[in-house]
């Protein structure tokens, strides 16, 4: 039995066959044993795609470690796959380690002998270790009794054996997960789990064991969208208005269940435009409100976002990014909405854009967004992404704020996003806007330009003044920003810069490069618009500055983040990795690219 400290493996099945459910159960088991986990679900974009087709690829990529981790890693070392078509499709992603063990179910070989032979040859030619297996007859009979369901529990048994987990804990979690099943069906699923566990020993493969971390602190297992939902409640938002869209929908699902218990209201609008209109209307009446969407929905919300700017009504929008343009890649990750968030509305429409680096940030970012939005009376857009939204992580217990007023925001929350408190008083275009219902109060709401009393005015002086004041609000935020988080060397040959979910990849890559004796630093931003004012000075400490981003770029087109950095600092920021594959960045990619870059530009 091999004891290992860091390992990545996969379970791949046809959509609808329960791979994610099995993966969730296994992840919870690891977490209970004190092992750190990070999981990436593989979800097809189509609804109910035909089984035994490449489009039906579904599953879970799981990284486990005895040390804290916050990214999915680089390559998988162990794969369990339901049939040859899914394995052939997944091989295209080039994410298997050179010595990976591939367990493939050969149950359908008689019906597709040539296809199995071709895929087996592909795997063996790649130097991978192919291990064929078949579900035994007794278990096949149970699966037939369950109308074809339950295979995921058999596979869960196989994985539980190879990763040496406590079967009693797995069984407890299975019973909790499927507690609504009739007792007879539940027992059949548990029998399948034990059958798979017993069968695994006959495959004569190495088993793996992870040393548990002895830690007395309380831990929780959360994914990004659940953390975001809980953060919305804790930061005092009382209304959520949304329209279902992948991968943001689970925020609304969670809040539908939880928000009413905390005195809040959930409104499922008829479309994206209505959802943001409801948010602005709620804030107009003095009730903090928020919405969540993805790229296509953000496009639809832009006119109302402009109204929020002009009318000086706070507005908070969560945008869980996915691959684009148009409907693009609904279940794949990208960071390509930065320009849409910062500059999407027509005219000069200043706003603040905050990103999240990990699951913990998802919990605390609604607090910061509400604080800025209400303090400055402008839109704040939160940028998450598919990877962060759907990935589970073991965390220290989160600190509740129970924020009922923006001035009660705790300093550690602002520190987490590298900013100080804003000035007590911030000038508005209209200085006499009261909350509706106040005796003797007045409020005028219009998208037209107004003077300081709120009356519509088209004079050049008035319009120029409005632009100056709206931009000054963002300048106040810029002035409050602290130097961004850094890793590795504080000066040297090369600085790797990123934002959002690239943080952990930068940190891990810089650590590996530093261990090789290279002079490398890392810099990560959470507030991406406006940019921190000292970036030019930070960049000046290095010979070269490069960006990494899950967005397309090439020799004639910079990525959005690199473009923003270049325009702000006038530093020649080069796009080291400009990847738009829909897959998350790998630390090994960054390490290899940096080594190659330094060889060509510094050590030549």
- pTM for the structure as a whole: 0.92
* Same domain flag for 10 and 137: yes
* Same domain flag for 264 and 310: yes
Question: Which are the contacts of 379, defined by CB distance < 8 A and separation ≥ 6?
Answer: 305, 308, 309, 314, 315, 316, 317, 351, 352, 373
Could you say which of 397, 416, 435 is where a domain stops?
416
* Same domain flag for 164 and 227: no
Question: Which are the contacts of 601, defined by CB distance < 8 A and separation ≥ 6?
Answer: 544
In contact, 39 and 29? CB cutoff 8 Å: no
In a domain, 473, yes or no: no
In contact, 392 and 27? CB cutoff 8 Å: yes
In a domain, 59, yes or no: yes
* Same domain flag for 320 and 257: yes
pLDDT in tens, 313-344: 999 999 999 999 999 999 999 999 999 999 99
CATH of the domain at 191: 3.40.920.10
* Same domain flag for 260 and 159: no
* Same domain flag for 132 and 265: no
In a domain, 466, yes or no: no
Q: To 5 degrees, how large is the angle CA 305–CA 402–CA 34? A: 105
Could you say which of 361, 381, 416 is where a domain stops?
416
The tally of domains found in the chain comes to: 3
In a domain, 97, yes or no: yes
In contact, 324 and 252? CB cutoff 8 Å: no
Residue ranges in the chain whose pLDDT is less than 70: 1-2, 212-217, 437, 603-604
CA distance 6 to 530: 37
pLDDT in tens, 271-299: 999 999 999 999 999 999 999 999 999 99
In a domain, 478, yes or no: no
Strand 352-355 relative to strand 289-293, pairing: unpaired
* Same domain flag for 359 and 328: yes
Could you say which of 393, 416, 439 is where a domain stops?
416
Exposed e or buried b per residue across 555-593, where buried means at least 16 C-beta atoms within 10 angstroms of its C-beta: eeebbbbbbbbbebbebebbbbbbbbebbbbbbebbbeb
CA distance 290 to 279: 6
Report pLDDT for 221. 86
In a domain, 435, yes or no: no
Report pLDDT for 3. 75
In a domain, 429, yes or no: no
In a domain, 422, yes or no: no
* Same domain flag for 120 and 154: yes
Question: Which are the contacts of 92, defined by CB distance < 8 A and separation ≥ 6?
Answer: none
Closest CA to 532 of 508, 509, 564: 564
* Same domain flag for 183 and 60: yes
In contact, 297 and 272? CB cutoff 8 Å: yes
Question: Which are the contacts of 293, defined by CB distance < 8 A and separation ≥ 6?
Answer: 242, 243, 245, 248, 272, 275, 301, 317, 318, 319, 320
Q: Which residues pair with 282 in a beta bridge?
A: none
Strand, coil or helix: 457:
coil
Parent domain of 381: 221-416
Strand, coil or helix: 498:
strand
Strand 289-293 relative to strand 208-209, pairing: unpaired
* Same domain flag for 333 and 225: yes
* Same domain flag for 232 and 201: no
CATH of the domain at 547: 3.40.50.920
> Which whole-number Å values give the CA distances from 52 to 27, 83, 84, 108, 332, in the listed order?
26, 8, 9, 10, 21
CA distance 354 to 530: 9
Report pLDDT for 115. 96
CATH of the domain at 378: 3.40.50.970
* Same domain flag for 9 and 117: yes
Exposed/middle/buried for residue 108 (C-beta within 10 Å: 0-12, 13-18, 19+): middle
How distant is the alpha carbon of residue 155 from its chain centre?
27
């Amino acid at each position: 039995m091999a004891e290992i400290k860091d390992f990545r493996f996969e379970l791949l099945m046809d959509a609808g066959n329960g791979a994610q459910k099995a993966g969730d159960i296994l992840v919870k088991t690891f977490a209970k044993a004190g092992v750190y986990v990070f999981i990436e679900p593989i979800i097809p974009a189509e609804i109910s795609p035909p089984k035994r087709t490449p489009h039906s690829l579904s599953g879970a990529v799981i990284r486990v470690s005895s040390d804290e981790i916050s990214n999915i890693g680089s390559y998988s070392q162990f794969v369990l796959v339901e049939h040859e078509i899914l394995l052939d499709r997944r091989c295209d992603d080039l994410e298997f380690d050179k010595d990976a063990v591939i367990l493939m179910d050969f149950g359908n070989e008689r019906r597709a002998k040539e296809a199995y032979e071709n895929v087996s040859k592909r795997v063996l030619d790649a130097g991978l270790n192919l291990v064929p297996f078949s579900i035994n007859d007794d278990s096949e009979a149970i699966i037939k009794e369950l109308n074809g369901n339950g295979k995921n529990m058999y596979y869960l048994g196989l994985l539980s054996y190879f990763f040496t987990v406590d079967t009693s804990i797995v069984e407890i979690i299975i019973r909790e997960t499927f507690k609504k099943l009739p007792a007879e069906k539940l027992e059949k699923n548990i029998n399948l789990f034990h059958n798979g566990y017993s069968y695994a020993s006959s495959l004569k493969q190495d088993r793996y064991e992870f040393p548990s971390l002895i830690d007395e602190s309380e831990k929780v297992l959360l994914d990004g969208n659940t953390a975001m939902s809980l953060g919305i409640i804790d930061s005092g938002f009382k209304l959520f208005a949304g329209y279902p869209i992948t991968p943001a929908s689970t925020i609304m699902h969670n809040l539908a269940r939880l928000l009413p218990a905390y005195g809040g209201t959930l409104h499922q609008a008829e479309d994206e435009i209505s959802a943001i209109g409801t948010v602005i209307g709620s804030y107009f009446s003095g009730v903090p409100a928020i919405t969540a969407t993805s790229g296509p929905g953000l496009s639809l919300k832009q006119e109302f976002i402009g109204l929020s700017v002009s009318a000086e009504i706070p507005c908070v929008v969560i945008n869980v990014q996915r691959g684009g343009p148009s409907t693009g890649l609904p279940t794949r990750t990208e960071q390509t909405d930065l320009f849409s968030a910062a500059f999407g509305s027509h005219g000069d429409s200043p706003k603040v854009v905050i990103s999240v680096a990990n699951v913990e940030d998802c919990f605390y970012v609604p607090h910061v967004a509400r604080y800025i939005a209400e303090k400055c009376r402008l839109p704040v857009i939160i940028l998450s992404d598919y990877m962060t939204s759907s990935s589970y992580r073991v965390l220290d217990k989160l600190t509740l704020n129970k924020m009922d007023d923006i001035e009660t925001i705790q300093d550690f929350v602002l520190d987490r996003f590298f900013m100080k408190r804003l000035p007590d008083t911030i000038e508005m275009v209209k200085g006499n806007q009261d909350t509706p219902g106040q005796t003797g109060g007045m409020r005028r709401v219009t998208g037209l330009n107004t003077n300081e009393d709120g009356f519509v005015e088209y004079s050049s002086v008035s319009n120029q003044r409005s632009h100056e004041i709206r931009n000054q609000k963002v300048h106040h935020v810029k002035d409050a920003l602290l130097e961004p988080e850094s890793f590795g060397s504080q000066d040297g040959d090369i600085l790797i810069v990123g934002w959002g979910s690239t943080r952990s990849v930068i940190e891990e890559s810089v650590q590996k490069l530093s261990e090789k004796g290279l002079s490398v630093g890392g810099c990560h931003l959470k507030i991406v618009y406006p940019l921190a004012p000292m970036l030019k000075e930070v960049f000046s400490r290095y010979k070269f500055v490069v960006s990494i981003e899950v967005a397309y770029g090439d020799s004639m087109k910079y990525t959005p983040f690199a473009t923003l950095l270049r325009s702000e600092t006038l530093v020649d920021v080069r796009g080291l990795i400009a990847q738009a594959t829909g897959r998350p960045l790998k630390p090994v990619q960054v390490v290899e690219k940096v080594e190659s870059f330094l060889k060509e530009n510094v050590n030549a």
